[in-house]
Each structure stands twice: as structure tokens, then as C-alpha cells.
Structure 1
């Protein structure tokens, strides 16, 4: 991850000044934290076996999107969304429901300040309430309160430092169905690879879904919902350049682990491993 992250920044252009170096290492810490939290989610919720397959897939799915690795706002937003999803999934244990809903709402609200369209993941918070604690009407109000808190604090910040209000009209971004931003060699390769992986992994996951225990199905539905929201976001976001696809990486890494954990035989497993290791280098180096 560090090697490919460094190559992506080098190809994007790298100036040796203090601010650039700080952003470089800060972005990498955020990037690694997102990977660690994804792995923690899988282990705590028994979504996969005790292995590093999810880490491998997350590294693969993010490094085939080199533009996302050079965008600090995208990396930060992705980390905050993953933290929010972690809080939503932890609702299953029935403890501290309201504080977890608020935590998730705040994380997603702040994530939307870094990258507006991540606001769509607030849907997962409402789905979490629906699956785990729907009868208490107060739970349905908390996500709205969380977003309002983010808006008020943002206004306080802009008033203090810029002497102006945080205007909602400037915050909302336009919708676009144009995919012209993908029309370059690296973009076509990244988009094609990610599309094939999504279709293949998702198909296998749906086949395996009915074999999962009833207790784990709400959590699995939330992971599927996260993936579908990320895919919808990719379709409607304006100014597409493949960096927005990083939101697909987290849930797809969990979903794709189901495929890697299947008994393919040693030879096929070795092929899978080398494909996932070498493809990102091919995209970045060629």
C-alpha cells in the first residue's frame, strides 16, 4: 500500500515542501486507518474468516484507483464514512443505541463536508435503525439532529475564520451522468477492472447469502446497502475522475472475501493472489 501510494503521488507530481510532505504522510495514515477499521468490522461482526483476505482486497481495490490516493479530501471522507458504518453495524449488540446513531450521523455529516456525495451514506444509518431498533421513534430523529449539529458547527467555523455563513446552496453539488472523466487509458483500465470485480464478487455473495445465519443477515444487508449507495454515488457525481470509486472499495473488499475464502485449490488461490498483487502495479507503471 505504501509503495503504490508513493508511486501514485510521484506520477501526480510531488513538491518537496513542508505542506506537501505533511499532506503526503497524513493522507497515508488516513488511508491505512481506513484499512484497519474495515478489517476490524469484518472480525467483530464475523463477516469473514480470521484471515487477511479483506486487507488484501482493500489494498487491491484502492490502489487500482491511483487518483483517489492523491486526493486528501476523498481519503478523509472515505475514512469517516467507514467509521460511521462501523457505528451502525455495532447497533446489533443493543447497547448505547442512541449514542451510536449520533456517532454515525456525525461521522457521515463531517465526511460530506470533505466530499459532498458521501452524505448519501446517511441512508445506512436509517437502515440500521430499521433493522435493529425501529420501535423507538427518538432513534429516527437522531440522524437529523446529528446533521444539524454538523451544519451549525460548520457555520460557527466559517463565521469565526471567514466572517460568512456556510450556505447550503454552495454545499450541494450538481448531478451529472457524464462519464467523460473516465475516457483515458488509466481510467478505462481502472473502471473496467472494478466493474468486473463488482459484478463477479457481488454475484457470488448473493449466492452465498441464503446460507448465512438469520442473525447475521441484517449486517450483511447493511454491507450490501453500503455498496449500492457507493455505486449510485459514482453514477450521479459530477466531475468524475475515478477517485469517487474509492467508496466502493470498503464494502466490496468484505463482499469479495467470500470468494477468496472458497476452496479453489492451491493453484487457483496462487493465481488469485498474484493477480491482486500485480494488477495495481500494471495500472500505475504502464
Structure 2
């Protein structure tokens, strides 16, 4: 039933996901909305960010043919968001993730082999900007290295371009610091905290959610890699880059200093695409419904536990 609704790319599907995401947002920000613990402007900004992110993901997927003509990717995005609603409470993480998605959009579009230098500059610029809001976003520079291997093996200029993007952000940051604080770089610009303490996950809710997340991740990623040989040769590097992005996102969640679910924010976009590819490939309708139903049921059961 659920999968049959999203097996076509229709405007109504986007609206359904949007309504679902808004509901999750309302629940996640319930106290702030009714107790005025945050300014209305900040709440509205977070809301607009997450709505725009849904739109952006849908655009990237359809523009680059990352799934067939369906809405499974944005459906998966909504489900993953419901799995870890604390993602919606951290403005810095939301901004950092938005910039990473901007960067991924430019990196994935390298498959067209057009304006490579501009796209590399844009991608490095966005990742550097994301790093200012969340330091460990810096790990996504590895995606640019992988992209260079795929698309620009022999052009030295293309290797230099990402450093120009980084330097541009550093220049703007220095100007900002000089104007406001009369210094070039402040220590607070790059807070490099990390933690391998997972005691926060020692609850029935997190054990359930993490079990479902990592089980589905391993299961679908294995299938994802096995199915890459069937993808269009021109677009195949894009699918590899998405897989690498999801692995980096997992690594970030492992070393993140905060363990409340928000650390999985960078996994949302790439894993949604991977899930979308897996769901559309399931031939048994009953299994497809059970799989999606289990994903939807997990956050609901998590609330009860």
C-alpha cells in the first residue's frame, strides 16, 4: 500500500513527505513551540531548512537519475528523519548538512563532464563552509579526492581548484573575525571535539533504532554495490560517490561528541538514495511493504519504549 503510493514521481508524494516531515518537526520542537524556549525566528529557520532539504534531495535525485521515476528516496528521507528527530533541534548541524548536500550536488553533477573546475570549486567551498558549523564535516573532502580520481586523473589544475575553494572560505572567515573580533582566526571557529563514549545509546529506544539503522544499512549497501554493474556506465561514479558519502557519514557519527541521534544527520541524504535504489529493486511486493513498514514502525515503537 505505502510503496505503491510512492512508486511514481508525483507532486502529491512530495506533499505527503512534506506533511510527514512537518509532523516530525512539530513533535521534535514541541517544547520550543509552546514554551517559547527558542525564538520564533530560529524555529522558523530550522523548519524552512528542513523543508528546503527535502526539495533539494528530490531535485538532486531526479536531475541525476539516481533512482527510477519514483519518490522512494524522499520517502526514505522522511522515515530516517523520524528515526532521529533530534536532528531537527541543532541549527548548526542543519546548516552544515545543507552545505554538504550542496557540495554533493555539485560533485554528482561532475558526471556531465561540463564545468568541472567550477563544480570542484563549488564543492570544496561548500564543504569548507560546512566545516565552520561542524568541524567533522571536513571529512567530506575525501569525496572530492575520490571524484578527482574518477573524473580528472590527469589535469593538475583540477587538483588545485579545491584548495582555492578552501582558501576563499578562509579569507571570508578572516575578514569576518577581523571585523568583529580583531583577530584572523579564533579557536572557536574549529572546535575539534570527538567522543567514543556510547553510554548514551544504552536504552531500549536507541538499541532498537540503531539495530534497525545499521542492519538496513549493511543489508542495502551490500545490495547497492552488487547492483552497480547494472547502472549506466556514465552515472556509475555518482553511485560510488554516494556510497562513499554514506560511509563518511557513519564515520562522523562514530566520532561525534554528541550521541543523541543528531550525529546521523549527514547519513540522511546518501542513505535515502541507497534505500530508494533498494526499495525500487525489490520484486516481491509483500516484502517491499514489510520492509518499509518496519522502517516506519521503528520510530513509533521507539516512542513507546
Same fold (TM over 0.5): yes
Shift of 1:45: 1.8
Residue 21 to residue 265, structure 1, CA distance change in 2 (3 Å): same
- Among 18, 41, 53, the residue aligned to 2:60: 41
Report what 2:39 is aligned to.
20
Query: Are 1:201 and 1:252, in contact at CA under 8 Å, matched by a contact in 2?
Result: no
Report what 1:9 is aligned to.
29
- Among 160, 165, 170, the residue aligned to 1:141: 160
TM-score norm. by structure 2 comes to 0.86
Q: Deviations over 1:126-145 (max 9, x none)?
A: 22122112221111111112
Query: Are 1:14 and 1:20, in contact at CA under 8 Å, matched by a contact in 2?
Result: no
Distance across 1 between alignment mates of 2:25 and 2:142: 31
| Alignment gaps of 5+ in structure 1 | none
| Alignment gaps of 5+ in structure 2 | 1-20
Query: Are 1:7 and 1:284, in contact at CA under 8 Å, matched by a contact in 2?
Result: no
TM-score norm. by structure 1 comes to 0.91
Q: Deviations over 1:34-64 (max 9, x none)?
A: 2222222221222211111001001111221
Q: When the two structures are aligned, how many residues end up with a matched partner?
A: 285
Shift of 1:158: 1.9
Residue 11 to residue 182, structure 1, CA distance change in 2 (3 Å): farther
Moved over 4 A (4+): 11-14
Q: Deviations over 1:250-273 (max 9, x none)?
A: 111111112211243443333344
CA RMSD of aligned residues (A): 2.1
Report what 1:79 is aligned to.
98
Question: Which range moved further: 158-167 or 242-251?
Answer: 158-167
Report what 2:145 is aligned to.
126
- Among 207, 223, 239, the residue aligned to 1:220: 239
Report what 1:157 is aligned to.
176
Report what 1:232 is aligned to.
251
Shift of 1:14: 5.1
- Among 130, 134, 147, the residue aligned to 1:115: 134
